[in-house]
Amino acid sequence: MKILFTGGSSFTGSWFVRELARAGHEVVATFRQPAAAYPDELRRERVAMALEHSRGVFGCAFGDADFMQLLHAEKFDLLCHHAADVTAYRSEDFDIGAALANNTRSVAAILRTLSEQHGTLVLTGSVFENDEGAGADDLHAFSPYGLSKGMTYQVFRYYAQAAGLKFGKFVIPNPFGPYEEPRFTAYLMKNWFAGNTPAVNTPDYVRDNIHVSLLALAYRNYAEQLVAGAAPGRLNPSGYVETQGEFAQRFAAAMRARLPLACELELLTQTDFPEPLSRYNTDRPDDAALGWDEAAAWDEIAAYYAARLGAAT
């Protein structure tokens, strides 16, 4: 297939681009900024990774004039809209209206054009948006950012139906692995390599952590099956559904077996629960059918952080 992909500078996006290309597809990846303009080294590394497997188009945001020109100039079998406005996404002051506008710019015209080209659309969602996954409470959005993602889906759903476009949603839980932002597992590794014992502040939350390598295979398979008319309208791939304390211990055991580190943990007593107690996806990928090796995935994580942080020991 010829694929137009947005969001290739993100953690999961760079992995998705690589996996799609490895399967033999031609990927054209759009980036909102020039390659050298991304402010942090990690994102520049992910852009470089995506460019190894795609043709990059820079200074091109979803729905702007350059994007529309690209869409009309080349025929695409599949549009993977993975990009989303994430500016200050952790803040309660996150601008929902601005994010929705950026996520859906020119959506009606884009989906009409894609439909005329007999293309297909895959939109990325999050288990932390409203009405996704399973778990406690009423599946409300975790944050204003999560709410913007849910609203983005509804806008795309409406215009895809209006255009008669084949449309699917791929819902991401909590991925981890090489090139991840400095979130939970990166925090653990940084502390272990520095000789510290990291604290797990929220050990009672039940979450769905998934290897990014498995997630990327599931994404590629879903995209291919959706184009072939053999996939559901939504896929919620799931990894390790357990408390964050249990996952931290799982992660520590895997790293301890592969690195000369103690990988000790301090599980704190959780007393504050501002987020739902549990939220997780429900579609477990078929590892064997996808050709995924769990042990190799753990090996890859250990090798990545050893190369990145080993000099700090």
Residue 170's beta-bridge partner residues? Answer: 124, 235
pLDDT tens-digit map of 226-250: 999 999 999 999 999 999 999 999 9
Identify the band that residue 39 occupies on the pLDDT scale cut at 50, 70 and 90.
confident
The yes-or-no verdict on residue 89 having pLDDT over 80 is no
Whether the per-residue pLDDT at 280 is higher than 90: the answer is yes
Query: Of 35, 5, 12, which Cα lies nearest the Cα of 180?
Result: 12
Q: 175 pairs with which residues across the strands?
A: 210
Q: Which amino acid is at 148?
A: S
The answer to whether the CB of 181 falls within 8 A of the CB of 89 is no
Give me the pLDDT at residue 313, please: 40
Spatial separation of the C-alpha atoms in residues 202 and 272, rounded to whole Å: 8
CA distance 43 to 112: 32
Residue type, 184: F
Average pLDDT over residues 128-145: 93
Percent of all residues in the chain with a pLDDT value above 70, rounded to a whole number: 99
- List, in order of start, the domains of the chain with CATH numbers: 2-175+210-235 (3.40.50.720), 176-208+240-280+291-312 (3.90.25)
* Mean residue pLDDT across the chain: 95
Percent of the chain at pLDDT exceeding 90: 93
Residue 151: the pLDDT is: 97
